[in-house]
Amino acid sequence: MKQFSKKYIVKIPNDISIFYCNKKKIITFKGSRLYKSLKLKTKIYVSTLKKFIVVTKIPFLDMSNNRKKALKSIQGTTIALIKQIILEISVLLCSKLKFIGVGYRVFPIEVFNNQLLHLKLGYSHQIYFKVPKNLTISCVRLTNLFIFGNSYQYVNQIASTIRSYKLPEPYKGKGILYENEKITLKEGKKV
């Protein structure tokens, strides 16, 4: 095990079980809430006793030397995807958006079980956004929006789509911002 770098080793928590099928090249993670699968492009080594996974650069099929060089990037991507799946199975993911500006508000419409959002962003027209069924939306105040879901990519994609309706502008800092986002304000014209 000393031949592998530490950045290609992923520790698995005790509450997650792993199933690996070498023939189908699929690894499945099963947690208390749900399970997810990942199709692999490189071989992995799974240790069930110490609860860790090692991703190698060894391909399943014979490849040319040019393709083998590209496997190093695939190895890093596989590590990132495995860590992301472990995070998705362990906890419920949340993304928070802040509406900053005079009159910028978000209203969940209760007739549609809070699956439709009415956004007031200073435009002359009304903006409506339909939330997918596998995500949950919560508004504590009319200027804060919480998006909950099981998929890391999907939660961030929906948050990015809502944010794209009114990107923060650099002179006054008004717009839709992520929770920890800070805007460096530019100076205006000097007379």
Q: Above 90 in pLDDT, residue 161?
A: yes
pTM of the full structure: 0.80
Q: What is the pLDDT of residues 34-80, one digit of tens each?
A: 888 888 877 777 776 668 788 777 666 666 676 667 777 788 888 88
Nearest to 183 by CA among 114, 101, 117, 71: 101
Cα–Cα distance, 177 to 191 (Å, whole number): 31
What does the buried/exposed string (b/e) look like for 179-190 if buried means 16 or more CB atoms within 10 Å of the residue's CB? eeeeeeeeeeee
Unique residue bearing structure tokens 């929906």: 158
The CA-to-CA distance between both ends of the chain, in Å, stands at 67
Q: What is the pLDDT of residue 23?
A: 83
pLDDT tens digit string along 171-184?
Answer: 999 999 999 989 99
Q: Which domains are assigned to the chain?
A: 6-90 (3.90.930.12), 93-178 (3.90.930.12)
pLDDT of residue 115: 86
Q: Are 54 and 1 in contact (CB under 8 A)?
A: yes
Please give the share of the chain, as a percent, with pLDDT higher than 70.
88
Question: Which residue in 76, 81, 151, 143 sits closest to 107, CA to CA?
Answer: 143
> Helix or strand or coil: residue 172?
coil
Higher pLDDT, 44 or 91: 91
**Mean pLDDT score, 100-125:** 89
Does residue 3 surpass a pLDDT of 70? no
Indicate whether 1 pLDDT > 60: no
